[in-house]
Structure 1
Amino acid sequence: MPLVVLCGPPGSGKSRRAAELREALDGPERRAHVVTEAEGGRAALRAEVERRLSRRDVVIVDAGNELRSGRYELYCAARQAGTALCLLHCAAGPPEPPFEAPDPRNRWDRPLFTVQGEEPLPLAEIRAALFDSTPPPPHRATRSQPLQSCEFLHRLDRATQDVVAAVVAAQRSGVLPGEEVRVPGVVEGLVLTRPVSMAELSRLRRQFISYTKMQPSDENLPQLASMFLQYLSRSIQ
């Protein structure tokens, strides 16, 4: 059943909105579950969401979901499960780093609903997005764009290799925790909070590739290295 992803900065009312959604969507014909971010971080949150996704229940993700890469992972999980998804942005003033405001031009950020303060939830629109829309079949992009996916996977492999090489080289050159690692051709940098081994980088690279290749798309080609850097930033704590 459908997935509702909340996002917003601390103090924006996400938990209150998640409780409102659960009360509005829960009923005898379906259950509504709230999944919160706890110990284990993003990986544990994603695993719990994937465990909860089913053909019966609604899953509401009560977490910051500050980064585009995190929301993309949840989008891929919904596509893999063949279920509908919508995003509820709890706004609280201009976005500040590390929060990356959702953009409805991105597939993983739509349909997008935004609420602020005491503004009521657009429950009718949310219900329509979750229950009246036809979810796309899993891996549709992979099946309909085989030639594009070959190019996509090649670029994905190369971009992630370049990022790993830059991080390894920076550490060998003496970069210290708190200093920024730069990757040629990428606007974003990566601030390491601790040393990261090659084994850990390789493991995170494999995970990122596994999630990302679920939905190969030419739209993401220019952003692959940036998305991987964001993934590393969130995963290396």
Structure 2
Amino acid sequence: MPLVVLCGARGSGKSRRAAELRAALDGPEHAAHVVAEAEGGRAALLAEVSRRLGRRDVLIVDAGNELRSVRYELYCAARQAGTARCVLHCAGGGGHGEPPFEAPDPSNRWDRPLFTVGAEEALPLGAIRAALWESRPPPPHRATRSQPLQSASFLHRLDCATQDVVAAVLAAQRAGAQPGQLVRVPGAAEALRLSRPLGMAELSRLRRQFISYAKTQPCDENLPQLASMFLQYLSRSIQ
């Protein structure tokens, strides 16, 4: 199933573009489906995409793809499934107080082929069709092949990284961190901006959800970024 990943700031028209793409790409040979963010957040979205990637239809992801790490995980899922993909960047939108948007960069393999459209521009449907059906998808490689879930090294690092994040968030709150302040974890490039107080029960639940997802997509390249990825997952989950 060819994959189209939409990304853009809030208010950039992603849902409108997803509807346009569905209408343009849906046909007797290839049906088009839109996957939107649902309850369960990032983990549920990626699980749904991975589940649907086995068919020949077109899958359009209209969800919170503001973060590079989310687009990278979708890239891994598509490459593991051996399907073509592209990224559609909806320019514009955003504003004060909105979540940060990490713009796609065509020098990153997970952000290409990349198409960018403004609010009033027509979709480059010919180029999108060519990317989905006329290009040869890259074969799965070691970074996107599932490692054995019994791998002691991967599970140990996943457990330690998520425990360190939970401990850092709780310690920061005990030290007086207030909503709006950043919580940093040693060794992690990302930081968590507290939007509200977080208790141990909620953090433990989110940690379990993240671990369940991470064990289904154990990429070698993700190992050094596990703490940062968990911080990004927390940031999206507590909004």
Query: Secondary structure of the residue that 1:231 maps to in structure 2?
Result: helix
Against the structure 1 CA distance between its residues 68 and 31, is the aligned structure 2 distance closer, same or farther, given a 3 Å change threshold? same
Structure-to-structure mapping, 1:153-232, within 5 angstroms = 159-192=161-194, 193-197=196-200, 199-207=204-212, 209-210=214-215, 213=218, 215-217=219-221, 223-232=225-234
Structure-to-structure mapping, 1:120-135, within 5 angstroms = 120-135=122-137
Structure 2: which 5+ residue stretches go unaligned?
A: 146-150
Name the aligned partner's letter for residue 235 of structure 1: S
Match of 2:148 in 1: none
Name the aligned partner's letter for residue 183 of structure 2: V
8 Å CA contact retained: 1:86, 1:109: yes
Q: CA deviation at 1:223?
A: 4.6
Match of 1:98 in 2: 100
Match of 2:120 in 1: 118
Q: Structure 1, residues 88-142: CA drift from partner, whole Å, max 9, x if none? A: 0000168874211112232322221111122121222211211122223345436
Against the structure 1 CA distance between its residues 55 and 153, is the aligned structure 2 distance closer, same or farther, given a 3 Å change threshold? same
Name the aligned partner's letter for residue 113 of structure 2: P
Match of 1:234 in 2: 236
Match of 1:30 in 2: 30
Distance 1:227 1:46 in 2: 14
Name the aligned partner's letter for residue 182 of structure 2: E
Against the structure 1 CA distance between its residues 179 and 80, is the aligned structure 2 distance closer, same or farther, given a 3 Å change threshold? same
Query: Secondary structure of the residue that 2:56 maps to in structure 1?
Result: coil
Against the structure 1 CA distance between its residues 77 and 142, is the aligned structure 2 distance closer, same or farther, given a 3 Å change threshold? closer
Give the share of equivalent positions with the same residue, in percent. Answer: 74
Against the structure 1 CA distance between its residues 212 and 157, is the aligned structure 2 distance closer, same or farther, given a 3 Å change threshold? farther
8 Å CA contact retained: 2:7, 2:66: yes
Distance 1:170 1:101 in 2: 30
Structure 1: which 5+ residue stretches go unaligned?
A: 144-148
Q: Structure 1, residues 14-48: CA drift from partner, whole Å, max 9, x if none? A: 22211221122111111011122244433333333
Query: RMSD across aligned C-alpha pairs, in angstroms?
Result: 3.4
TM-score (structure 1 length as normaliser): 0.79
TM-score (structure 2 length as normaliser): 0.78
Match of 2:7 in 1: 7
Match of 1:43 in 2: 43
Query: Secondary structure of the residue that 2:9 maps to in structure 1?
Result: coil
